[in-house]
Structure 1
Amino acid sequence: MKKNLLRQWQKRGTVLSLHSVLFVALFIMCLPFLWMLSTSFKTSSEVLKFPPTWIPHDFTFENYVELFKAIDFIHPFYNSVIIALVSVILSVIVCSLAAYAFAKFNFKGRDKLFMVLLGTMMVPGVVMQIPTFLLMKALGLINSYTGIILPGIASVGMIFFFRQFLSTISNDYIEAARIDGAGEIRIFWSIILPMMRPALVAQGIFAFTASWNSFMWPLIIATDDRFYTLPLALTQLDGQHASNYGLSMSGAIVVIIPLVILFMFTQKYFLNSMNIGGVKE
């Protein structure tokens, strides 16, 4: 009896310690965001005040009003939405098809080709930017939506994630559909894609976030401000607004609000996708 009671207390102590560590880690991760949010509502004098204050003494929306006067957000917002949505749709289609081929088709050299594909993840993305830029220039895609979107469509990480998910799906579904006369496209569209919904949503969120926050590639490929996205639009705060940290923080808040809203509406699918370890065939 005493041993069982002792084990229960040890188990509770372990769980409590783990939750405490996770809470501290969560607080540390949220700290920059909370500081950014607090700073966006401070006056310029209070931002530079020492010691710093977490809660603004003079709560103001002046930074947000000045932000929308300094920058025209309409066109960059439109660019960001179009680029992010098209990138997500094309990435999900291309990568899910590739993953389906690697997971469910037996062809010569499949595993070796997949290992080579994974090996490309070891190459830093910044190394590929100059060759990719020269390729886009040769194709005449500078200052175009296509030039911004095209290089990011095929993601090795997304293909790997989808392949791992598909490996948990029994081949019996596919064989039964083939016996019923369904073609490969029909099987993929009507059977595989619905079963991949949690993984599709999770990777869609990652792809949308990456595209929305992308700064370096749009900066390289878009020399015309007509193709500027929101992160690039915020660079217009440089110069006379460079020392206005409250204004910069308000701009950052405006940029991340759509991502927060997106996650709020899709978190169920995102969390479900984290439970990919199902029983394999």
Structure 2
Amino acid sequence: MKKVQVSNLLLTLLFAALSIFFLLPLFWMLSAASKTELDVWTFPIQWIPDQWNFVQNFKAVWMGDVSFSLFYMNSLKISILSTIGTILVCSMAGYALAKLNFKGKGLLFSLMMAFMMIPEQATLVPRYIMIKEMGLYDTHTSLILLGLFSSYFTFLLRQFMLGIHSDMLEAAELDGAGFFRVFWSVVLPLSQPILATVGIIKFIWTWNDYQGPLIFLYSNDLFTIPLGMQFFKEEFGTRISVMMMASLSAIVPLLILFLLLQKKVINGIAIGGVKG
């Protein structure tokens, strides 16, 4: 028993040390964003600056000539709408593949699995032509529309929903619940852990996406943060402290999202482990 406790303690200490190591770049980013430009280049690294320049760097990012707030709002709009749309579309598709019986279900699932092996870049030209023909080029709608369906997320949701007992769904139907009522009031609440996981991953992917906005957006006022950072590089390329403030501002929504939903994600992983 003591050996087990000692080994658990050693593993805890090891993972704590590794977590600190992996968080060092984030700590350095926060430190650099709070310094003057000369202090950034001080060696050895001065983690706590003698002269705080956080407010000045913040103003340079948010109140300067480059409209960082506009890029921020564009990224929030596309990421939030894409995430909500993906959760709705993929959860319905996953539920259909997991619990409904219809002709061609096995073939449809096999095709979806096959599509997962096709690189996204291989479909870039057809998607570009489709968006161009629909008149959606250089609009946020094009990015939101293209991001609604995902074979990967549909597969994750389908696998989770297979573990929901059919007796619960049948009981709801006996109580008079229709198809959509069962899905909305029974299936979705039971799928909260995997929905939170899908939401976090989708939001992060969309927020950090560089290729999509680069291909489907042309107007500067529609650019998202990954493209907008190019303007900061041109404007403040030699001012590392301002660039670190912009980078720090860019990851704040991702940190908030993870902190809010981490419990549900951990529960989803734990439930998946028990099922496995």
What's the TM-score once normalised by structure 2's chain length? Answer: 0.90
Using the TM superposition, name which of 266-275 and 243-252 deviates more. 266-275
> Residue 71 of structure 1 aligns with which residue?
66
Residue of structure 1 aligned with 2:155, choices 130, 151, 160 = 160
Q: Distance in 1 between matches of 2:43 and 2:122?
A: 42
For residue 38 of structure 1, report the CA deviation from its aligned partner.
1.1
Residue 150 (str. 1) matches residue 145 (str. 2): yes
Q: Distance in 2 between matches of 1:130 and 1:107?
A: 33
Q: Distance in 2 between matches of 1:176 and 1:277?
A: 24
> Residue 6 of structure 2 aligns with which residue?
13
For residue 179 of structure 1, report the CA deviation from its aligned partner.
3.0
CA contact (8 A) 1:96 1:159 kept: yes
Matching residue's letter, 1:72 = S
Q: Distance in 1 between matches of 2:109 and 2:14?
A: 38
CA separation of 1:265/1:279 partners in 2, compared to 1, >3 Å: closer, same or farther?
Answer: closer
% identical aligned pairs: 36
Matching residue's letter, 2:60 = E
Matching residue's letter, 2:90 = C
CA separation of 1:205/1:28 partners in 2, compared to 1, >3 Å: closer, same or farther?
Answer: same
SS of the residue 1:79 aligns to: helix
Matching residue's letter, 1:64 = F
* Count of aligned pairs: 273
Mapping of 1:65-104 within 5 angstroms? 65-68=59-62, 69-104=64-99
Residues 104-152 of structure 1: CA distance to partner in whole angstroms, max 9, x if unpaired? 1233443343233223333332333333222211222111111111111
> Residue 5 of structure 1 aligns with which residue?
none
Residues 149-169 of structure 1: CA distance to partner in whole angstroms, max 9, x if unpaired? 111111222112211211111
| Structure 2 residues without counterparts, runs of 5 or longer | none
> Residue 4 of structure 1 aligns with which residue?
none
Residue of structure 1 aligned with 2:52, choices 53, 59, 62 = 59
Q: Distance in 2 between matches of 1:28 and 1:168?
A: 38
CA contact (8 A) 2:233 2:243 kept: no
Residue of structure 2 aligned with 1:244, choices 234, 239, 248 = 239
> Residue 277 of structure 1 aligns with which residue?
272
Q: Distance in 2 between matches of 1:180 and 1:278?
A: 32
For residue 37 of structure 1, report the CA deviation from its aligned partner.
1.1
For residue 275 of structure 1, report the CA deviation from its aligned partner.
2.0
Residue 176 (str. 1) matches residue 167 (str. 2): no
Residues 253-273 of structure 1: CA distance to partner in whole angstroms, max 9, x if unpaired? 111112222223333322222
Q: Distance in 1 between matches of 2:239 and 2:94?
A: 47
Q: Distance in 1 between matches of 2:214 and 2:231?
A: 13
Q: Distance in 1 between matches of 2:183 and 2:165?
A: 14
Q: Distance in 2 between matches of 1:188 and 1:26?
A: 39
Matching residue's letter, 2:123 = M
> Residue 121 of structure 2 aligns with which residue?
126
CA contact (8 A) 1:40 1:63 kept: yes
> Residue 49 of structure 1 aligns with which residue?
42
Matching residue's letter, 2:61 = L
CA contact (8 A) 1:201 1:269 kept: yes
Query: RMSD of the alignment, in Å?
Result: 2.1
Mapping of 1:194-233 within 5 angstroms? 194-233=189-228
What's the TM-score once normalised by structure 1's chain length? Answer: 0.88
Matching residue's letter, 1:218 = P
SS of the residue 2:272 aligns to: coil
Matching residue's letter, 2:198 = Q
For residue 241 of structure 1, report the CA deviation from its aligned partner.
1.6
> Residue 266 of structure 1 aligns with which residue?
261
> Residue 19 of structure 2 aligns with which residue?
26
CA contact (8 A) 1:168 1:279 kept: no
For residue 11 of structure 1, report the CA deviation from its aligned partner.
0.5
Q: Distance in 2 between matches of 1:279 and 1:100?
A: 21
